[in-house]
């Protein structure tokens, strides 16, 4: 695989996240994406600490272009590239509509906003002065420090965002966990690549999958329930249909989450939901699923929850990924 990454969610103290990143590097991973949620620690601060403690490529995975002005995002990513000696990656996505609404932001024209954000960022990193009038406004914007070439990965689920990423970005982080979803997405990637100019270079189709691994299968699946509940609540009806997930059952999970009844929501996650929206089980089981996924993608990023034991998860994940890629790590 081209890139083996791990998503680290800064819901725990920064020092603990850095320790997990160090364990991931020792296990053979090469990239750390730090997730961005307004209720967790700042992803750029955590990414900087990871960059100081490891030689991993590192960056937000993914930030949205609403909470922070896109020009400021470009500056923050550029700063991270400087402090890590050129190892920054930029994970950018539309963000969660409900979370942004709760903060008073309009989730307006998400595809266009994401595209314009990283296009402007690339121009700023190249040393240009930028005037922009689109989904956001920038007048005589420029950075007063040099930035290298930072790869841009678009977080995507829907067909239009996937196609746009394949045409314009350096990679896509496909938020999915089941081979059926990657087979479907591979067709969308191919459609975007048909319109991609050769000058943009290679494109990296990366799985950005929820993974929970442990020696105990039951423990791994239990740890997967919280993230799967949130995935199910936000899943579009065609995605639910692709996996034969009952719409009423999914709606129940969403309603309980919106009411703050988290335990009830997690308990309402069915086995079918777990199988559709997470790769959960022992290293051998996770490796088997990864082997299926690997036929469609170039890279793999293991996302939350990782497993019931975050300390052990990187080693167990590397074992599973090694089996999937047919090599020991």
DSSP 97-120: HHHHHHTT----SHHHHHHHHHHH
pLDDT at 329: 41
Mean pLDDT value of segment 58-80: 96
Of the ranges 47-51, 292-296, 313-317, which is most confident? Answer: 47-51
Domains of the chain plus CATH, in order, are 4-212+282-325 (3.20.20.30)
Beta strands 171-174 and 57-60 are unpaired
Looking at every residue in the chain, the average pLDDT score rounds to: 93
pLDDT at residue number 325: 60
Q: What is the pLDDT of residues 264-279, one digit of tens each?
A: 999 999 999 999 999 9
Report whether 269 contacts 156 (CB < 8 A).
no
Instruction: Check residues 324 and 298 and name the one with the higher pLDDT.
Output: 298
The tens digit of pLDDT for each residue in 107-121 reads 789 999 999 999 999
* Over residues 173-188, mean pLDDT: 96
Helices (H), 143-300: 159-168, 179-193, 217-234, 237-242, 247-258, 262-267, 271-277, 283-294
Average pLDDT over residues 234-242: 91
pLDDT tier at 326, thresholds 50, 70, 90: low
Q: What is the largest CA-CA distance in the chain?
A: 57
Which range (50-54, 107-111, 277-281, 302-306) has the least confidence? 107-111
pLDDT tier at 260, thresholds 50, 70, 90: confident
Mean pLDDT of 293-298: 93
> Residue 314 in contact with residue 217, Cβ under 8 Å?
no
Q: How far is it, in rounded angstroms, from Cα 98 to Cα 104?
A: 10
Rounded Cα–Cα distance for residues 185 and 267 (Å): 30
Averaged pLDDT for residues 230-245? 91
Mean pLDDT of 296-300: 95
Question: Chain centroid to CA 290: how far?
Answer: 17
pLDDT at 327: 44
* Nearest-angstrom CA–CA distance, 168 and 262: 38
49-70 mean pLDDT: 96
When pLDDT is cut at 50, 70 and 90, the band that residue 328 belongs to is very low
pLDDT band for position 198 (50/70/90)?
very high
Determine the Cα–Cα distance for residues 167 and 219; give it in Å rounded to an integer: 40
Nearest to 157 by CA among 247, 53, 259, 234: 234
Side-chain-facing half-sphere of 252: CA atoms under 13 Å: 14
- What percent of the chain is modeled with pLDDT above 70? 97
For residue 306, give Cα distances in angstroms to 5, 83, 239, 281, 293: 12, 27, 23, 11, 17
CA atoms within 13 A on the CB side of 306: 22
Q: Report residue 98's pLDDT band, with 50, 70 and 90 as the boundaries.
A: low
306, 219 in Cβ contact below 8 A? no
Lowest mean pLDDT of 101-105, 223-227, 240-244, name the range. Answer: 101-105
């Amino acid at each position: 695989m081209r890139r083996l990454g791990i998503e680290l969610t800064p819901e725990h103290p920064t020092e603990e996240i850095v320790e997990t990143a160090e364990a991931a590097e020792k296990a053979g991973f090469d990239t750390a994406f730090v997730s961005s949620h307004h209720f967790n620690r700042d992803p750029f601060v955590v990414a900087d600490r990871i960059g100081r403690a490891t030689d991993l490529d590192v960056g937000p995975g993914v930030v949205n272009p609403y909470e922070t002005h896109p020009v400021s995002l470009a500056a923050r990513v550029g700063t991270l590239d400087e402090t890590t000696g050129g190892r920054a990656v930029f994970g950018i996505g539309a963000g969660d509509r409900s979370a942004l609404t709760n903060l008073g932001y309009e989730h307006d024209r998400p595809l266009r906003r994401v595209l314009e954000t990283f296009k402007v960022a690339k121009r700023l990193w190249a040393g240009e002065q930028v005037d922009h009038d689109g989904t956001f406004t920038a007048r005589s914007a420029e950075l007063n420090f040099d930035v290298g070439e930072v790869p841009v990965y678009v977080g995507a689920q829907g067909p239009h965002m996937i196609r746009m990423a394949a045409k314009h970005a350096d990679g896509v982080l496909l938020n999915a966990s089941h081979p059926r979803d990657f087979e479907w997405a591979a067709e969308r990637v191919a459609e975007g690549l048909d319109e991609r100019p050769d000058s943009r270079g290679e494109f990296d189709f990366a799985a950005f999958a929820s993974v929970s691994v442990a020696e105990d299968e039951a423990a791994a699946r239990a740890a997967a329930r919280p993230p799967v509940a949130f995935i199910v609540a936000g899943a579009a009806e065609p995605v639910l249909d692709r996996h034969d997930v009952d719409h009423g059952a999914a709606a129940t999970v969403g309603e309980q989450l919106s009411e703050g009844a988290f335990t009830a929501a997690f308990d309402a996650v069915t086995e079918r939901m777990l199988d559709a929206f997470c790769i959960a089980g022992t290293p051998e089981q996770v490796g088997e699923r990864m082997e299926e996924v690997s036929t469609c993608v170039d890279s793999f990023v293991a996302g939350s929850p990782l497993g019931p034991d975050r300390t052990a998860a990187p080693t167990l994940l590397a074992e599973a990924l090694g089996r999937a890629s047919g090599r020991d790590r």
